[in-house]
Amino acid sequence: MQGEVTGSCGMSLAQAARALRERRISSRELVAACLARIERWQPRINAFVAVEAGAALEAAAAADAGLANGVARGALAGVPLAHKDMFYRAGRVSNCGSRIRRGWIADATSGALERLADVGALQLGTLSMAEFAYGPTGHNEHWGDCRNPWNPAYAPGGSSSGSGAAVAARLVFGALGSDTGGSVRVPAALCGVTGLKTTWGRVSRYAAMPLCASLDTVGPLARSAEDCAHLLAAVAGFDPRDPLSAHEPVGDYVASLKAQLNGTRVGVSTAWIEHDAEPEIAAAVLAVADAMGSLGATLVEVPPPDVDTLSAHCMVVMQAESSAQHARWMRERSADYSAVVRARLEAGFAIPAVAYLEALRLRAPLLERFCSATLREAELYLLPAMNVRAPTLQQTGPGGGPQMPRLLGELSRLTRWVNYLGVPALVVPCGFDTRGLPIAAQLVGRPFSEAALLSAGHAYQQATDWHRRAPPEPS
């Protein structure tokens, strides 16, 4: 069963920001409402690592004073958010989901968090994540597993598990996550929220925990494409402190949102989706295509990308760079890793240098092929976010049995290839399976096409209400 969230926590981020600007509600009221929900939901889903109630209420009082005096001009002034526990804040703890970093105090503040502060957003605390952002399920033996708000027996996805769960349960109005192989999009899909994987280099990764420099991206999770547009508008843009930050100009993501798709060409591979995805998922995603067609989009049958080859290249790069990132700790503190993460890092040490360099060399020509083949006659490409239904935590944990490794691979099979190409992708909820768990579609575009993705997602969400459905309230 789906629940209904009444009161201020039922608003979207865009609605909350507007209500604050118009003085129809105070930031303190919003923060207090979120804190009350966190108290009720946290024992059920374990979405937060730390709740900073006192600091948030103080910040809310300051935001209210600024709004009352007309000096708080930020677009998100007074809006309460929370973020994955890997975005550093000077003088504050960032645990990175690990035992090794437990209690570690950062000496710099994330570029993305600085930009959110510049537009007035508040932070309620830090959110659960997979250990060192290296896992797609929500398991964490050091800090406890995060759980899916729709049914706590099921995986919320990872590695930005707390971000997906907290947004879905309406504990915050939005959250930042990171996406190296699907870590924004998998939790968005499994928790029934909207998640944006940004173009590689679009958002600063300065003072955010690194995993794999060639693949890491920062992106928002929120209740809608419109909300993601507001968050992206705040954090996007060049940062000289991130050596891989892109100089590409930033568009007006909010102003470019449209309610219709006239003139937009959406590529879809119908036969491939029907063959590759479980029936409930295929039907829901193809219904998205129909809905977009009714909104004015031109649907174009296109050849699917070779997702398995691209995903294999992604894994080579991810394993090699992640293991290099952790080489010293693996030599000195290997026992402090969970068995699962330690095994993944050990596998990375076996990647030949030739294979790693070849994967990097092929990246540009394979991106060109995707743009000239799959997107030759389309701006956007529609496919499932995942081709399998949501698994349980038991199925994807240490006791999952011989099928567990295959199932883990399937969770991010349709997301990893996007990271390898470096292009942006948007995940939107598009239905529920027979167990009452969310199904999601994924739109992929050319580099720096976030505005087109968000506009298409917004148009779809203006015509449907899947993104407005909320998990049932705890009993």
- Tokens 């830090």: give the residue: 126
Which position has the token pair 């797609």? 136
Annotated catalytic residue: which of 84, 160, 322, 323?
A: 84
Backbone angles phi, psi at 159, to 5 degrees: -90, -10
- Can 26 be counted among the known catalytic residues? no
DSSP string, 298-366: EEEE-PPP-HHHHHHHHHHHHHHHHHHHTHHHHHH-GGGS-HHHHHHHHHHTTS-HHHHHHHHHHHHHH
* 183 is an active site residue: yes
Question: Given 163, 183, 224, 449, which residue is catalytic?
Answer: 183
Distance CA 328, CA 420 (A): 26
Cis peptide before 159 (omega within 30 of 0): yes
192 to each of 195, 432, 465, how far by Cα in Å? 9, 9, 11
Q: Given the structure tokens 């710099």, which residue do they identify?
A: 108
Using DSSP, state whether 296 is helix, strand or coil.
coil
- Indicate which residue of 159, 160, 269, 338 is catalytic: 159
Yes or no: say if 160 and 411 are a contact pair by the CB < 8 Å rule: no
Our CA angle for 410, 416, 419, nearest 5°, is 170
Catalytic residue numbers? 84, 159, 183
